Structure 1
Amino acid sequence: MARIPPLDDAAAGPEAREALDAIVAAHGRTTNMKRTLAHSPVALRALMTWYDLRDEVLPFLGERLTTFFAHAISSATDCLVCSTFFRRLLIDAREDPEALQLDERERAVVEYGRQLAADPHSVSDELYERLASYFRPEQIVALTAFGGLMVATNLFNNALRVDLDDYLQPYRKEGER
């Protein structure tokens, strides 16, 4: 059960209402996470920069690898909301989240995401060298910042126990709490 309920439309002040309306216009819906963040419009704006960073990495990662990376981080942090969100994208793209078929470049990115989530101090030199063989410094910076915001989103959902949205329930991993 969520520690803080999603912000109700009736309780939303003008700034929160405007932010939520913009999210609906851009993404078609508001989620429990975004409605919870809307209690603090500044916090909502900060974590919504995730989309800006995603747009920065999409040209060099592509949609598929961007999803793999975000899913790897969300799974490593055990974030029910985010890992299920990315499971949905993978399943809808006919990927098996439990048996991803990855090439060497994709493996380096996914492993980087896992290590960022688990302990960024433990990103090995070997892994970094593999990553650097595929990406320029500015791309690694954008990828790392994107990963950091993914971790921040996961941390928010986990700490406040944000409830899984109803539309994600069918994508929930079997046996997941």
Structure 2
Amino acid sequence: MSRITKVTFETASPEVQEEYNRVLEKHGSISNMKATLLHSPEASRAVLEWYTLFDRVKPVIGLRLSILFCNAISRENACTLCSTYMNKEIVSKGEDPDHLLLDDRDKAIIAFGRQLAADSSRVSDELFAKLRSYLSEREIVELTVFGALMIVNNVVNNALRVDLDDALAPYAIDPEVAFAGSSRFQKRGEEV
């Protein structure tokens, strides 16, 4: 259950109502995450910059690989909501998320996403050289920031335990299976 209530238009302040309308107009709907973020218009705008970079990355690596990149990050971060959303996108495009056909470029970009989420300071020279063979420096910078914003989405959803949207229920992932290789999932039960 979500730790933060979802903002509703009817009960929101005029400032938040204005932002609510802006988000609705730009994105077409208010998901549970967006309704959570709307408690702070500034936080909402910062996190939703993900869409700006999504629009920059898609023409370079394609929609499919953009989704697979985000899925790799979300699974590494054990984010149920984002992994479920990406699972929906993969399935709706006619693919089986557990049996993807990947070429070397796909594998390098997906590995980069996983490594950003696992420990960005340990991106190997070998992996970076593979990225350089497929992408320009500008494209690598944009992909990296896009990945970082995906991580921000994961953090918001995990820390605030944002509820899964009803429309995602048919695509819900099984955390025990989807996150089996994630070091974050295995540490979840540990308290500090």
* Fold similarity call, TM over 0.5: yes
Stretches of structure 2 that go unaligned for 5 or more consecutive residues are 178-192
Is 1:140 the counterpart of 2:140? The answer is yes
Structure 1: which 4+ aligned runs deviate by more than 6 Å?
none
Q: CA deviation at 1:99?
A: 1.8
Stretches of structure 1 that go unaligned for 5 or more consecutive residues are none
Name the amino acid aligned to 2:113.
G
Q: CA deviation at 1:101?
A: 1.0
Distance 2:17 2:98 in 1: 38
Q: CA deviation at 1:95?
A: 1.2
1:115 alignment partner in structure 2:
115
Q: CA deviation at 1:46?
A: 0.4
> Closer, same or farther in 2 for the Cα pair 1:146/1:175, shift >3 Å?
closer
Name the amino acid aligned to 2:167.
Y
Pairs aligned (count): 177
Distance 2:176 2:170 in 1: 12
TM-score, normalisation: structure 2: 0.88
Name the amino acid aligned to 2:14.
P
Distance 1:26 1:163 in 2: 22
Q: CA deviation at 1:176?
A: 5.7
Distance 2:126 2:163 in 1: 38
TM-score, normalisation: structure 1: 0.96
Contact 2:78–2:175 under 8 Å retained in 1 = no
Alignment RMSD (CA, Å): 1.4
Q: CA deviation at 1:174?
A: 3.6
Q: CA deviation at 1:15?
A: 2.2
Distance 1:2 1:162 in 2: 5
Distance 1:175 1:152 in 2: 19
Give runs of aligned pairs for residues 4-153 of structure 1, distance below 5 A: 4-153=4-153
Distance 1:40 1:16 in 2: 8
Distance 1:14 1:83 in 2: 33
Contact 2:80–2:175 under 8 Å retained in 1 = no
Q: CA deviation at 1:175?
A: 5.8
Name the amino acid aligned to 1:118.
A
Q: CA deviation at 1:51?
A: 0.6
Q: CA deviation at 1:13?
A: 1.4
Deviation by residue 1:12-71 (Cα, 9 ceiling, x = unmatched) = 112221222222222221011001000011000001110111111111111111111111
**Aligned sequence identity (%):** 47
Name the amino acid aligned to 1:8.
T
Q: CA deviation at 1:8?
A: 2.2
